[in-house]
Amino acid sequence: MGSAISLRGVVKRYGDLRAVDGLDLDVPEGSCVGLLGPNGAGKSTTMKLLTAQAIADAGELVVLGCVLPGESKQARAQMGVVPQLDNLDTTLSVRDNLRVFARLYRVAKGEREAAVRGALELATLTDRADERADKLSGGMRRRLLIARALVHRPRLVLMDEPTVGLDPQVRQELWALIARLRSEGTSILMSTHYIDEAERLADSVTIMSHGKAVSVGEPGALIAEHAGREVLEVYGPPDRLRSVEADAQARGHATRRTGTSVAILGVEAARSDATNGTFPEGHRRAANLEDVFVHLTGEEIA
């Protein structure tokens, strides 16, 4: 399988700050990759490099076979970009927003109306096509932003935090849309700080911290590698949590704090110990990608 995106040793500096600091990133063709990382990790800068809104100081960037920044126009023509900020033209109808982009992306004149219809359908906005964009709900606007990025049937779609700030039901609608795109073979790179989103949608995730990829893999494999199968959440006052934490670490377990609790990772191996009272009482649950994220980046989720 070819690569939709291949970055090697990419560096982007802003003055003394390395926003991206030797990043390797791969998006195999036809797969959905989640780019996870705390605020300031360099996700948005990476997205900007891929669209050539920013130019790397070092490293190799190949997107859809085009070498950036030299061939960024050719790459851009085959890419759809869903921005984080809603920049729809609110004076235009839903359909006209799509028509403008169909023209911009040079969809042949005779194919434009069909392309617009297809995008409306994909985003289930057909019955809203003639409404002005400013009459849409937040969720519909976000679907229109995605539809707009798809109107020229791109091979690769970049989504920067596609569901940020949306309520849970709307997020689920978008997940369905993203899953459908993925099932049609479109390559997707999606930045997100919603771990559950990455866990559901991504074939593979790249966890970024301080401009680098600190871990790469299929969500289930990363969980097994870094957090084991089971996590024990222990609740109590701060001084007790400190001693529980120190004790678990002394026995080789990674831990994480979550406000009122300490979570001890990888406790499945110690199940028999626990029943012997070696581990404190607590709530056992399945390990998840959030445990991995916090463990590797040292950051809690916003």
What are the residues binding ligand ADP (CB under 6 A)? 14, 17, 19, 37, 39-45
CA distances from 3 to 6, 28, 75, 185, 188 (A): 6, 4, 13, 13, 11
Angle at 87 between CA 29 and CA 79, to 5 degrees: 20
How many angstroms separate the CA atoms of 253 and 245, rounded?
9
Nearest approach, Cβ of residue 73 and ligand ADP (Å): 22
Nearest approach, Cβ of residue 134 and ligand ADP (Å): 28
Nearer to ligand ADP, 37 or 266 (CB): 37
Nearest approach, Cβ of residue 191 and ligand ADP (Å): 7
Nearer to ligand ADP, 46 or 255 (CB): 46
Nearer to ligand ADP, 65 or 69 (CB): 69
Nearer to ligand ADP, 42 or 228 (CB): 42
Measured from the Cβ of residue 3, the count of other Cβ atoms closer than 10 Å reads 17
Helices (H) and strands (E) in the chain, counts: 11, 14
Residue found by looking up tokens 């003394």 in the block:
16
How many angstroms separate the CA atoms of 10 and 26, rounded?
12
How many angstroms separate the CA atoms of 222 and 293, rounded?
10
How many angstroms separate the CA atoms of 70 and 64, rounded?
13
Nearer to ligand ADP, 34 or 42 (CB): 42
Nearer to ligand ADP, 41 or 115 (CB): 41
Nearest approach, Cβ of residue 20 and ligand ADP (Å): 7
Nearest approach, Cβ of residue 43 and ligand ADP (Å): 3
Nearest approach, Cβ of residue 197 and ligand ADP (Å): 15
